[in-house]
Each structure stands twice: as C-alpha cells, then as structure tokens.
C-alpha cells in the first residue's frame, strides 16, 4: 500500500500528465495504445525500400561491400519491425 506522500505525488503526476498530454492520459486510463504516427511509419517504409535497394544493387554489382551494407540495413529494418510490434 502506498503512503499518503506517495499517493499525493502520484496525483500530482496524473494532473500534470492530464494537462500536458490529455490523449496519452486517456490512452493510459483506458488501457489502449496510441496510434503510430505517420512520420514514423513513412520513415520505416523508406528504410525498408533503401535496404532492399542496397541489397539488390549489391547482388547485381560485383562489390561485396554494397551487399554487406544491404544485408546489415535489411537486418536493421527487420529488427525495427519486430521491436515495434512487441511494444
């Protein structure tokens, strides 16, 4: 059980959150997630396209460095997708 001081501090935090970001406060209260922002989604799609392009160019050209960069970039984008859906 929380002490009186702890409850008071939590109420202050709750009021501050309600004032500063009411959408987040509502989402936390109702237990639903915030919708992903369009900019983050667009950036993630751009990263996907760039990674696949690097990989294809690396496979066409006889340069193993470009292929390695494509593989690393694609690994990063897959990791980002997996981490994003786990939250």
pLDDT digits (tens, 9 = 90+) for 55-85: 899 889 888 999 999 899 999 998 988 887 7
In Å, how far are 1, 58, 84 from 68, measured between CA atoms?
55, 8, 24
Same domain, 40 and 77: yes
Reported confidence tier of residue 6, pLDDT bands at 50, 70, 90: confident
Same domain, 13 and 40: no
Same domain, 43 and 30: no
Place of tokens 């369009």: 38
Same domain, 10 and 50: no
Length of the chain in residues, anyone? 87
Same domain, 28 and 69: no
Residues 27-39 pLDDT 10s: 778 876 666 678 8
**How far is the C-alpha of 66 from the C-alpha of 54, rounded, in Å?**
7
pLDDT at 33: 66
Reported confidence tier of residue 46, pLDDT bands at 50, 70, 90: very high
Same domain, 46 and 80: yes
Please answer whether residues 54 and 69 qualify as being in contact, where contact means their C-beta atoms are separated by less than 8 angstroms: yes
pTM score, whole prediction? 0.54
Same domain, 22 and 64: no
Domain carrying residue 1: 1-35
């Amino acid at each position: 059980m929380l002490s009186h001081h702890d409850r008071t501090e939590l109420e202050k935090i709750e009021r501050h959150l309600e004032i500063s970001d009411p959408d987040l406060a509502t989402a936390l209260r109702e237990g639903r997630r915030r919708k992903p922002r369009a900019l983050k989604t667009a950036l993630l799609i751009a990263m996907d396209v760039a990674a696949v392009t690097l990989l294809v160019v690396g496979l066409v050209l006889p340069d193993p460095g470009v292929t390695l960069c494509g593989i690393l970039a694609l690994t990063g984008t897959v990791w980002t997708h997996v981490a994003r859906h786990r939250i």
